[in-house]
Chains A and B, each alone.
Chain A
Amino acid sequence: MQQGDGTEAQVTWEDQQNINRFGRLNNRLHELYDEIKLAKETNENLDDAGNELILSDEDVVRFQIGEVFAHMPRDDVETKLEQMKEDAAKRLERLEEEKESILAQMAELKKILYGKFKDAINLEED
């Protein structure tokens, strides 16, 4: 909390819990930003892989499983890739939804906390 003029409202346990909840949400939000960035990259990589597959005309494709590249027939690779793309897209959607939910909850808490403490509290990203 900022340096007040000494006449700001008293902090109750409920206020403290709201502040704690805001902190937790903010932490999770930053984690989500990173996770969403990674998920978008994964989606892009899978799309690139799909495009490469279409351009290549080999029947046997080296598909990475873990640390090795297994030889797989082209059709199997296509199916697997489609599945991976679907999973990745769903994951990204879930993460975006969580992000929206958290932003909404944070906005609610901001209203409550600013309402009570006005200038004495700063909830913005520095």
Chain B
Amino acid sequence: MAAAAASTPQGVTERRGIPAASFVEDVESYLRQARLDVNSGLAFLQERLQQYKIVEMKLLAQQRDLQAKIPDIEKCLDIVASLQVKKALGEALTADFELSEGIYSRAKIEDTDSVCLWLGANIMLEYSCDEANALLKKNLENAKASLEVLVADLQFSRDQQTITQVTIARVFNWDVHQRRSKQATKET
């Protein structure tokens, strides 16, 4: 599934909605086949580049969200684990927590069998410690898996950007070369 280097060009034509940039073997035949003059060709490629950049921005935002979510879930797992440890010892857990900004209060948590988990959208559900562990672990796995897919998407998108940038440079250089040779033949 990861967008590894294809063995032939166009081995991968798109990835999850992101079109692959076609690799140009020869600039002259590319422009002829697309029936584009140099300026239109460059404009088309620049537009493609902008589109890839937009996709990259979107993916980066999603990546930031996921990267913030994962430590949160891990903290929750920590707390549930501590509660279970205390329960096993038969002791109460005393904790200081923030009541409001700068104001802390003390809580004594005795013999807990259940915890409440915030599910988002103003919903909080009560679970037994074991159920909570299972749910949190599943959420953590999902988040990590999503992050992996996202990172692969980002790499793919950046590769297509690089290909497009290189193609732009090659079209430009080919044009310079053409002009110079035309100039040379004119002078002789």
Contacts and interface: CB of A to CB of B under 8 A. Distances in A.
Given A3-B176, A23-B162, A68 B5 contact: no
A51 interface: no
A8 B173 contact: yes
B172 A66 contact: no
Given A20-B162, A66-B78, A67-B98, A6 B23 contact: no
B94 A6 contact: no
Contacts of B159: 20, 23-24
Query: Do most interface residues of chain A lie in helix, strand or loop, or is the interface mixed?
Result: mixed
Contacts of B170: 1, 11
Of all A-B residue pairs in the complex, the 8 with the closest CB atoms, nearest first, are A6-B177, A66-B75, A1-B169, A71-B94, A69-B96, A68-B97, A68-B95, A6-B176
Given A20-B5, A23-B158, A24-B158, 14 more contacts: A1-B169, A6-B173, A10-B26, A13-B9, A13-B23, A20-B159, A21-B5, A65-B75, A65-B95, A68-B79, A68-B96, A68-B98, A69-B104, A70-B82
Interface of B: 5, 8-9, 23, 25-26, 75-76, 78-79, 82, 93-98, 104, 107, 155, 158-159, 162-163, 165-166, 169-170, 172-174, 176-178, 180
16 contacts: A1-B165, A1-B169, A6-B178, A13-B25, A17-B5, A21-B5, A23-B162, A24-B155, A27-B158, A67-B98, A68-B97, A68-B98, A69-B104, A70-B94, A71-B96, A120-B173
